[in-house]
Amino acid sequence: MRRTSLMASLIGTFAALHSILYLIPAELWRSLSIYLEPLEGIILGPYAGFLAVLIGSIIARSIKPTGLWMFGVFAEPIGTLACGLIVKGKWKTLLLIYAVMLGAYFIHPLSREIPLWTILDILAALILIYPATKISQRLQKGDTSQIPFATSLIAFIGCAADSLARIFLLIPAGLYLVLGWPKSAVYTAFLAGAVDSYIEDILTIVFAFTVGSPILLALRRISGIKYPLS
């Protein structure tokens, strides 16, 4: 009962924080909540983290709606789920998620018209899933020396998963048809989005290294708190 109450309170806390960060105007990126995703996955775990971000994303976009709200509501929880799966050692599940979304993208005819360089970060993250999981497992055994590196690596993979989920929703899932975008508009948006995605990768890694890892180290020093929680 005590653990259930703790989990519920933390899900609510992180959901509220996610919403607040989304609503704060961001100078460097579309939303400050993107930087919180890795910590939500690492601390809460894959399932509680997914739920917290899903709730936070829905609340935030209910308060501040946008025409493309569905991208964030779908992709942000996926990014957090990816980080949580790594720290739980469930790399096969994450590989399956990547394989399904990437496979659907490459099968779609429209993918042949889009340059490969636009998804190089996603392909790199796919390769890094297994090594990141092994490093994370060493951290669970008490080795804190690699927390900054591991946190940055996990954050990169989570950020790439977020981007992949948006791509999956746009092209294989056919959202571009629902939005009434012609192929030329998809191509233009995809290229511009890819450039933004690489910038997002860098900023997320920097935040995870400079802010995220000290937070995780501090939590390690608090008795009674052991993450991931789910």
Range 88-93 contact pairs with CB under 8 angstroms and sequence separation of 24 or more: 88/45, 88/46, 88/228, 89/133, 89/136, 89/137, 90/46, 90/133, 91/129, 91/130, 91/132, 91/133
Whether 1 shows a pLDDT value over 60: the answer reads no
Enclosing H/E stretch for 151: helix 147-170
44 vs 202: CA distance, rounded Å: 24
**pLDDT attached to residue 137:** 82
* Mean predicted confidence (pLDDT) in 4-14: 84
Share of the chain above pLDDT 90, in %: 61
State pTM to two decimals: 0.92
Whether 125 shows a pLDDT value over 90: the answer reads yes
Q: What ranges do the domains of the chain cover?
A: 2-220
Whether 46 shows a pLDDT value over 90: the answer reads yes
pLDDT one-digit tens code per residue, 60-93: 999 988 878 888 899 999 999 999 999 999 999 9
Whether 167 shows a pLDDT value over 80: the answer reads yes
Tokens of 93: 């599940």
Tokens of 228: 């991931």
pLDDT band per the 50, 70, 90 thresholds, residue 201: very high
Task: Tell me whether residue 73 is exposed, middle or buried, using C-beta atoms within 10 angstroms of its C-beta: 0 to 12, 13 to 18, 19 or more.
Answer: middle
Q: What is the mean pLDDT of the chain?
A: 89
Share of the chain above pLDDT 70, in %: 93
Residue with tokens 């009434």: 180
pLDDT one-digit tens code per residue, 100-119: 999 999 999 999 999 999 99
**pLDDT attached to residue 93:** 96
Whether 54 shows a pLDDT value over 80: the answer reads yes
pLDDT band per the 50, 70, 90 thresholds, residue 27: low
**pLDDT attached to residue 67:** 79
Q: Distance between the two ends of the chain, CA-based, in angstroms? A: 14
Rg of the chain in Å (alpha carbons): 17
101 vs 219: CA distance, rounded Å: 34
* Mean predicted confidence (pLDDT) in 46-67: 92
**pLDDT attached to residue 143:** 66
pLDDT band per the 50, 70, 90 thresholds, residue 44: very high
